[in-house]
Amino acid sequence: MLSKPHAIFADALASDFAIGAFNTSNMELTQGIIRAADRQKSPVIVQTSEGAIEYAGLQVLSSIIKTLAGQASVPVIMHLDHGKSLDTAKRCIEAGYTSVMIDQSTLPFEQNIKNTKEVVEYAHARGVWVEAELGAIIGNEGVKDLHGGQTPDSFLTDPEQAKQFVESTGVDALAVSVGTIHGAFSGQEYIRFELLHEIQSILPQVPLVLHGASGLSSDNLTQACKTHVCKVNVDTELRIGFERAVKAYFDNAHDSYDPRKILGPGRDAVEAIVAEKITLFGSAGTAGIY
């Protein structure tokens, strides 16, 4: 069923698990994600970037998610990923999203606060959950170029600023930059646990969000889900799994030009990856408690 995030995040914060947030842009990906969550008896977040909304159309994509959520036996949160404006957030809220992210992380601190606050006021008046980002994640959807002496570490979240940011904006969840990168960079990305613990001790009531989880080691992921990280975003690994499965179809002798035969293996691959991530995040079996 389509669900609000509030009770699920409260539980994730109090317990040792995180909710997986998986990106979709079409029917097959959405089915793969929700089937896996159903199988694992886990709440799940299905999220759409602005690019996905542009590709499929907001009404089409949100209708697919709502329909499949309605058929599921587990809570499904419909979330806007990396929303860049109040306008996008508003459109998603009107379309029935139960959660939105406003990402102004590449703007100066005060401007990030101002724009985030505007979205928080609009969303909270309508019972919608808001995630925002402080510090920035390198890669797609975030910082792409480094200038004048900048290194990836220049964008890590500052704990004191995080406190000021949450207090000034009233945001529900905070995406933090603690070493992950958007995209799958196995061996190059790892979580700075010292920093993560510092942020959570300064903001003990705030659910934290880990972006860029593709490419992170299983150990890092499991350990992170036992902290106040309550939401973990995975996109690239689903795309890679989907592409490999479809490619394998063409690489092997095939006698059909039926799109269902071509895309079906992609859907199954996504389901398998999501089911595995849900196990790592520790949320399997928690769906029955709401």
Distance CA 45, CA 279 (A): 15
267 is an interface residue for Zn ion by CB under 5 A: no
Q: Which is nearer to ligand G3H, 263 or 274 (CB)?
A: 274
Distance CA 283, CA 74 (A): 12
6 marked among binding-site residues? no
CB count, 10 Å around CB of 285?
Answer: 13
Q: Which is nearer to ligand G3H, 28 or 237 (CB)?
A: 237
- Least distance between ligand G3H and beta carbon 179 (Å): 12
Please name the helix (run of DSSP H) or strand (run of DSSP E) that holds residue 267, with its range, or none. Answer: helix 259-281
Q: Is 120 helix (H, G, I), strand (E, B) or coil?
A: helix
Cα→Cα distances 20→106, 109, 120, 254, Å = 25, 28, 23, 34
Residue with the closest Cβ to Zn ion?
211
Task: List residues binding ligand G3H (CB under 6 A).
Answer: 23, 81-82, 141, 182-183, 211-214, 233-237
Q: Which is nearer to ligand G3H, 82 or 117 (CB)?
A: 82
- Least distance between Zn ion and beta carbon 101 (Å): 8
- Least distance between ligand G3H and beta carbon 267 (Å): 18
x-or-dash pattern for Zn ion, window 227-266, by CB under 5 A? ------x---------------------------------
- Name the active-site residue from 11, 81, 145, 251: 81
Distance CA 225, CA 86 (A): 30
CB 214, CB 236: distance < 8 Å: yes
The verdict on whether 81 is a catalytic residue reads yes
- Residues annotated as catalytic (active site), given as ranges: 81
